[in-house]
Chains A and B, each alone.
Chain A
Amino acid sequence: MGLLEERLRAVRDGGAKAFVPYVTGGAPGVDAALLRALAEAGADAIEVGIPHSDPIMDGGVIQDASRLALEAGTRTDDVLATVAAAGLEVPVAAMTYANPVLRRGVDRFVADLAAAGVAGLIVPDLPPEESEELRGAAAERGIDVVLLAAPGAAPERYRAIAREARGFVYCVATYGVTGARDRLAETARAVVEGLRGLTDLPLLVGVGISTPEQAASACAFADGVIVGSALVAPLVGGDRAGALALAEAFRAAIA
């Protein structure tokens, strides 16, 4: 068990709910100081995106953030350097897509993550059947490879995900990609309930959690939430104070 899983289990076992903000590395306003400020705002872990040219699981807000980051010349190593410079006490999970990982080589990629102090890795286009090599290499470095579970899957599939996931299970709240939604999707509960009993990993809900109220609703059945677009939108818009105030509001709503 890596640091990511250890911490999130401790939160859950202590009767609390986990708040995991996501920010896109290299996007406007995202630097080591911001990561520290998110930790101070009460994040239990922070998900940091390594921007990719083809973010197929992301909606408009994170697409824009990724594009701006890449246009500003952000390299994978820059994001890792930011994480290392932040010197956080809370664990960081990197999020990226398959190709940046494979291009560097699975072993080197996880070694570089470990060297930067990253504790977890989320790659939404590496489902269990394609991520075996990565999970093996990551385990050797103490890095938890988080797997996603989505609505509409058969019970056997949830069982396989529950068996292979480390850190936590990322329960995708809804059909679709990241981005704001008016309401918490009904499907979120079904995914979490589909996994309960199959694993005692923390079950966190993400994708489309847009308001503190939605986060609170999700935490009625889940062990925590991941909040991305709602925070990235003000950051990219230049409103860093607003993003941090919102992070505090999310924290307070699920305390």
Chain B
Amino acid sequence: MTGSTAPARPDERGRFGRYGGRYAPEVLIPALEELEAAWRELRDDASFRRELDELARDFVGRPTPITHARRLSEELGYDVWLKREDLAHTGAHKINNALGQVLLARRLGKERIIAETGAGQHGVATATASALLGLPCVVYMGEEDTRRQAPNVARMRLLGAEVVPVTAGTRTLKEAVNEALRDWAASVATTHYVIGSVVGPHPFPMLVRDLQRVIGDEARAQYRERTGADPEVVAACVGGGSNAIGMFTAFVGAEGVRLIGVEAGGRGTRLGEHCASLTLGEPGVLHGALSYLLQDPDGQVVETHSISAGLDYPGVGPEHAFLKDAGLASYVSASDADALAGFRLLARTEGILPALEPAHVIGWLAHRPLPDGTRVLVCLSGRGDKDLDTVLRAEGGGA
């Protein structure tokens, strides 16, 4: 599943260039050190790999296919392929990380799993992995998100997880992470925190990337097999950045391949109207790592807005900050309206209802930002069932 060569990043101190690090309360440091040591050992451990690979195949349904989006390509004038993470069990890429981390937690002897969730996809994935491996699971979710992603709350509860609505602050993903970190500070001896993206203090951005890179490793091989070459553009949506890093890692530095991350542009470019941390933010520390951040002049983290709960986050994984500054990837944004248009376009042309998160990528492509005929590989990170209410409401109740 993971590629044979571990990327050189991050360094010993958890730094991707200047970004990342371990800005964590003292009480969590021993657990973070233990986690780092365990992962550095287990990621190349044959028995762990076998266990994870088997579950990936038999339970998740990996490898997920790539699909040639012929009618979409015709309409846009590009040649578009989709990496179908929407077909992974539970309907998004989040399961790759959740399963790996819950397996790791069991190896560490932890007795309890906690997670945060925004869209609910990571919560569902973690609840699923916990059910499969027989560990109790608590999921923190902003109260606002429990409303806009109600079907996923029901799913988590059916899977045996306890869902705790978080009423602090913006009642969205950022506050859910805060609350999960507070739980972990109290429970760290017995509990593993399955963070849902390539964010958080070292080693989380490395650990989650290592577990998600299967997306790009598979996709690059599949794309080459089908077309005989690499794509010219690899595109993915960026919330915390895990599906994008998972997709990009196999391609970073590859000649002739441009990596493009699409952030949520929300409804405007003023602070508070979007979640475009990489395109509009400045370096700062949130949730244990230094990265691009949406913040005010005093360093207070600001409210964000996106139609998609999974992208509604003011920070972003530190490796993306590094890739941006190093010119190894570029980042753009797509608005709420673009995402809705992308959702409809993919449904109509390909018979696929995408999650609103990757619908941002389709919506961005629909503006035809690339030269005619460009060969594009898109990470379709999840399916759209969870978003039907939001989509229908945004379009005035009519379908």
A residues with a Cβ closer than 8 A to B are 52-57, 59, 63, 67, 70, 75-76, 97-104, 124-127, 129-130, 147-154, 157, 161, 172, 174-177
Q: Is B29 a contact partner of A157 (Cβ separation < 8 A)?
A: yes
Identify 27 residue pairs between A and B in the complex whose beta-carbon atoms are under 8 Å apart, listed by A's number. Answer: A52-B299, A53-B300, A54-B174, A56-B181, A57-B182, A59-B182, A98-B23, A99-B300, A101-B299, A102-B284, A102-B290, A103-B298, A104-B299, A125-B23, A127-B23, A129-B13, A130-B21, A153-B26, A153-B30, A154-B30, A172-B27, A174-B186, A175-B186, A175-B189, A176-B27, A176-B182, A177-B185
B residues with a Cβ closer than 8 A to A are 13, 21-27, 29-30, 168-169, 174, 178, 181-182, 185-189, 283-288, 290, 293, 295, 297-302
Q: Is B298 a contact partner of A100 (Cβ separation < 8 A)?
A: yes
Q: Is A100 a contact partner of B26 (Cβ separation < 8 A)?
A: no
Q: Is B301 a contact partner of A99 (Cβ separation < 8 A)?
A: yes
Q: Which chain B residue has the least Cβ–Cβ distance from A148? A: B26
Given contacts A175-B188, A177-B185, contact A53 B169 (CB under 8 A): yes
Q: Is A127 a contact partner of B29 (Cβ separation < 8 A)?
A: yes
| Chain A residues whose CB sits within 8 angstroms of the CB of B182 once the complex forms | 56-57, 59, 176-177
Given contacts A56-B182, A126-B23, contact A103 B297 (CB under 8 A): yes
Q: Is A102 a contact partner of B26 (Cβ separation < 8 A)?
A: no
Q: How many residue pairs, one in A and one in B, have C-beta atoms under 8 Å apart?
A: 110
9 nearest A-B pairs in the assembled complex, by CB-CB distance:
A103-B299, A176-B186, A150-B27, A100-B299, A99-B299, A150-B26, A53-B300, A98-B285, A148-B26
| Chain A residues whose CB sits within 8 angstroms of the CB of B188 once the complex forms | 152, 175
CB distance from B168 to the nearest CB of A (A): 6
Docked pose: A175 CA to B286 CA in angstroms: 21
Docked pose: A63 CA to B169 CA in angstroms: 9
CB distance from A177 to the nearest CB of B (A): 5
Docked pose: A196 CA to B187 CA in angstroms: 26
| Chain A residues whose CB sits within 8 angstroms of the CB of B302 once the complex forms | 53
Docked pose: A70 CA to B299 CA in angstroms: 12
| Chain B residues whose CB sits within 8 angstroms of the CB of A130 once the complex forms | 21-23
CB distance from B185 to the nearest CB of A (A): 5
Q: Is B284 a contact partner of A54 (Cβ separation < 8 A)?
A: no
Contact among A63, A147, A174 with B168 in the assembled complex (CB-CB below 8 Å): A63
| Chain A residues whose CB sits within 8 angstroms of the CB of B287 once the complex forms | 54, 56
Q: Is B285 a contact partner of A99 (Cβ separation < 8 A)?
A: yes
Contact among A76, A124, A149 with B298 in the assembled complex (CB-CB below 8 Å): A76
Q: Is B284 a contact partner of A127 (Cβ separation < 8 A)?
A: no
